[in-house]
Structure 1
Amino acid sequence: MKTNFLWGASTAANQVEGAWNENGKGVSVVDVLAQAEHFREETNGVLEGRYYSSHQAVDFYHHYEEDIAMMAEMGINSYRMSIAWTRIYPTGLEDEPNEAGLVFYDKIFDLLAKYNIEPIVTISHYEPPFELALRGGWSNRKMIDYYLKYCKTLFERYQDKVRYWLPFNEINCLFVPFGIMTAGGVFSSIHSPENTLQLRMQCLHHQFVASAKAVRLGKAIKPKFQFGCMIASMLNYPLTPNPEDVRLADKENLVKNMFCSDVMIRGEYPYYIEEYFVENQIQIQMEDEDKSVLKQGTVDFYSCSYYMSYCIGIDPNAKVVSGNLLTGLSNPYLVESEFGWQIDPKGLEIFLHRVYDRYGLPIMIVENGLGARDELVEGRVHDSYRIAYLREHIKALKNVISEGVDVIGYLPWSAIDLMALSTGTIDKRYGFIYVDVDNQGKGSFKRCRKDSFYWYHDVIASNGENLD
């Protein structure tokens, strides 16, 4: 790896911080998603008798000094995190930000600087203010102005502490009819007739415009800021050599994997999306300035999450497997994790070559990891399965870098255990650091280093040479 390679780890505020109503923080979209067995139950507010895992999460808010010290001990030089919008603007409607929220992140950034850890900040990670969600969320074009007010505050306050910004997390997940994604906070559940593809694509357009305007705003405040798109990469293979399957996979990869990055990097809607919009009766309402805004607010680098790949085909009887917010068809050449996610490091090579060939921009992997039911035994977690997964994906990164792809960072999910986005539980753990807490928020919250913690330390210390 390059000498300045970003070896890091990632988390998200709504999945680690807790302290959901402390020091002026307002209610976010995630704060009213009650824990549920298969998908998070949406409510019209916080109700008695329901459990909301985001309210306490793994209590990073009160453990951040310990947690960041442990991350530094592991050797990371970069940390991808998010800022909780409602710590800064509790309802999104305020004229002035919440100073206590700004001070909290000042402390985070100052501590990271102490340990020479570069922050990579996601501005919006699925948690807009609940009050704005009640006013339409991203289906309401006014959301752009609320978002830009929030961005301006962050850019001005942290201009000397943060260089890398990601305007939205996994922006292409608005294709997914999952409640928390829907309109970035329009409350219509997965079963609701209001949760339409038309609605989600209009919301996506508003996010495109918001991102482009944020880039322009940020560059005006600090020209050295670097902005990236963040895409949930969901590589699809054709199930068979049948040309129908091949064409279906091509179209799926373009629409689901490349459309959002095409807009954010090239600054315009690509030709192929017109057919998709016609087929799905989608009509995007744009204002006169939108096309020029998109063109002028393109990002500087490409970032993505990568966990698994799928197959896609026309066989109605093919086996379906699960994955990161989506399902696909089983690939007989791959093994699955205990949660049914297909493990495919070679797919990461394939995907990164496609991305770099298409854009020629630096690439960061800001999520990659294995969720598993870790067992704490005498203060240790022997997670050889996670080490094996990460080892093969780092080998894949080394391969593509040797072949000329400009990968500048690898920040696995996750630095510490956290509450799952989709279920609100902690059964499926990803962290290098174990947190003693269960699905109902009970436990000592003691932090323990897993075997993967020590393994990753040695990987970083050797700049990727020691993978044993």
Structure 2
Amino acid sequence: MMKEFPKDFLWGGAVAANQFEGAWNIDGKGISQDDVVPYVDLKKATDIPLFDSRAMIEKGLTDTAEIYPKRFGIDFYHTYQEDIKLFRELGMNSFRTSIAWTRIFPTGEEETPNEAGLAFYDALFDECLKNGLEPIVTLSHYEMPLNLILHHGGWSNRKTIDAFVKFSETVLRRYQDKVKYWIIFNQINSGLTDAYLSLGLIKDEHPNIEQSKFQSLHHQLVANAKVVKLGKEINPSMQMGSMNYDMTAYPATPKPEDVLGTIENDDAQLYLSDVMIFGEYSKTMQRYFAEHDLALEITDEDREVLQKNTIDFLAISYYLTTVRSSEMPNILDQIAWNMNETSRNPYLETSEWGWQIDPVGLRIALRKLNLRYRNFPILIAENGIGYRDQLENGKIQDDYRIDYLRNHLNQLREAINDGVQVIGYQPWSPIDIISAGTSEMEKRYGFIYVDQDNHGVGSKKTDQKRQALIGIKK
């Protein structure tokens, strides 16, 4: 039994450009799908907006009443040098971030890339390498050009494959000597639940949203394979991966139908990674498509590129587990998060935001993935918990975060001892950033505190450093 993690283990932290860079309209950057997502005050709102209509999206282009926090982020675009130094002080040897598509191709249709955007990432990756941080770079992290959504139907349009491949080739060639690890799609299976952010679909404009959703996911799989092929041609040493969010489920009872439901849950949440690793759709998904009258357009060329260009590693995000019963809808029709009594586990602690905390579930998830994918390399690309931290005498007393990380890392080490090939751990997040769903700041994940509230008010200073990683080391 190993007591320490592998020497070449990628210890780091994960963020997304749209949640922390800011500078949304300078140096030639175009408008992305996240730039029109407003702050949601959970004290007043009952639901997070889903952007099902064009009017909801276009409101963000002219609205002056709402706040759009992802436009200003934490201003990392201007503070990256000092922030990277703080990451180094935390003991990180790697750093997962994304490239904002609209910094390179503002509308997604330009003939030539925006040099100012390319230069920014040159400087960022140089700063990472200078400070001993291996960049782990995501190509698609909910940062699609809004133009492709409003005028071309997002990923439902096969032409989007070409636009994304062009963007990917541009940055792969530009940074081939600076970036080794690439995650092509962030949480690709989130398209099952979020048609707008993941797939760029305006639900009201698709008479058969299920057909459009699965066709769009197929287009992303084809784009993923084409980018893998490009990466290997440009620099064979580059590691080309892609990412799922993990939704490991437990049966609600020993009832056989509930147990079968958890197996179907696995097949559904992993069908996209099945294609990316095995190069073809599973029989289970082929049956699902047939029984639900989903006639996907899959060409012979698609099948060939999927078969020949599989990923090198699977990245996953792990935040929670859920409970499944035979009375719940199939996961392909509706994800049942454990934020209500019907899908909540009574044996687990629950956070203020309704997320249940399950360190052992991480080991279970990794064991299942290891069995399914035959000792395939896995990168934990996200894991963390949001809290409403409070400054006390200029410090954050976050024992809860230390406990959360320590307990998950203990289970991660057990999984590695079980034989799972985990290559790295990138917790969400090394620094406070804007929340993905509600665009709030008060739901804090970071090891480094940023003095900023939900409305963007504050000094934005990061001198109040947290002790979470230091606590784990002790």
Cα distance in 1, alignment partners of residues 119 and 91 from structure 2? 26
Partners of 1:325 and 1:422 within 8 A in 2: no
User: Secondary structure of 1:97's partner?
Assistant: coil
* 1:30 corresponds to: 34
Q: State the Cα distance separating 1:193 from its structure 2 match.
A: 6.3
User: Secondary structure of 2:387's partner?
Assistant: coil
Cα distance in 2, alignment partners of residues 321 and 264 from structure 1? 22
* 2:354 corresponds to: 340
Cα distance in 2, alignment partners of residues 153 and 14 from structure 1? 20
Q: Which amino acid aligns with 2:48?
A: F
User: Secondary structure of 2:196's partner?
Assistant: coil
Q: Which moved more, 1:62-71 or 1:36-45?
A: 36-45
- Runs of 4+ aligned residues of structure 1 deviating over 6 Å after TM superposition are 324-328
Q: Does 1:147 align with 2:160?
A: no
* 1:21 corresponds to: 25
Q: Does 1:43 align with 2:57?
A: yes
**Compared CA separation, residues 397 and 221, structure 1 to 2 (3 A):** same
Percent identical among aligned pairs is 47
Q: Deviations over 1:155-198 (max 9, x none)?
A: 110000000001100000111045323xx222337xx7657222
Q: State the Cα distance separating 1:448 from its structure 2 match.
A: 3.6
Number of matched residues? Answer: 451
Q: Deviations over 1:330-368 (max 9, x none)?
A: 111111112111111111111101111222211110100
Partners of 1:126 and 1:180 within 8 A in 2: yes
**Compared CA separation, residues 421 and 74, structure 1 to 2 (3 A):** same
**Compared CA separation, residues 283 and 424, structure 1 to 2 (3 A):** same
Structure 1: stretches of 5+ with no match in the other structure: 460-465
Partners of 2:195 and 2:202 within 8 A in 1: no
Q: Does 1:432 align with 2:447?
A: yes
State the TM-score, normalized to the length of structure 1. 0.92
* 1:137 corresponds to: 154
Cα distance in 2, alignment partners of residues 107 and 16 from structure 1? 17
Cα distance in 2, alignment partners of residues 334 and 324 from structure 1? 10
Cα distance in 1, alignment partners of residues 211 and 398 from structure 2? 43
Q: State the Cα distance separating 1:378 from its structure 2 match.
A: 2.4
Partners of 2:447 and 2:468 within 8 A in 1: no
Cα distance in 1, alignment partners of residues 414 and 441 from structure 2? 33
* 1:156 corresponds to: 173
1:199 aligned to which of 212, 232, 236: 212
Q: Does 1:307 align with 2:319?
A: yes
2:308 aligned to which of 280, 296, 313: 296
* 2:134 corresponds to: 118
Cα distance in 2, alignment partners of residues 327 and 439 from structure 1? 29
Q: Which amino acid aligns with 1:88?
A: I
Q: Deviations over 1:244-268 (max 9, x none)?
A: 1111111011111x21110001110
Cα distance in 1, alignment partners of residues 340 and 354 from structure 2? 12
2:271 aligned to which of 239, 255, 259: 259
Matching of residues 446-457 of structure 1 within 5 Å: 446-451=461-466, 454-457=467-470
Cα distance in 2, alignment partners of residues 106 and 128 from structure 1? 21
Structure 2: stretches of 5+ with no match in the other structure: 329-333
Cα distance in 2, alignment partners of residues 370 and 73 from structure 1? 22
**RMSD of aligned alpha carbons:** 2.0
1:385 aligned to which of 393, 400, 415: 400
Q: Does 1:246 align with 2:259?
A: yes
Cα distance in 1, alignment partners of residues 229 and 106 from structure 2? 25
User: Secondary structure of 1:34's partner?
Assistant: coil
Cα distance in 2, alignment partners of residues 385 and 127 from structure 1? 32
* 1:402 corresponds to: 417
**Compared CA separation, residues 242 and 328, structure 1 to 2 (3 A):** same
Q: Which amino acid aligns with 1:421?
A: A
Q: Deviations over 1:86-116 (max 9, x none)?
A: 0000011101000000000001000001011
Q: Does 1:282 align with 2:294?
A: yes
User: Secondary structure of 1:180's partner?
Assistant: helix
**Compared CA separation, residues 178 and 293, structure 1 to 2 (3 A):** closer
Partners of 1:175 and 1:197 within 8 A in 2: no
* 1:221 corresponds to: 234
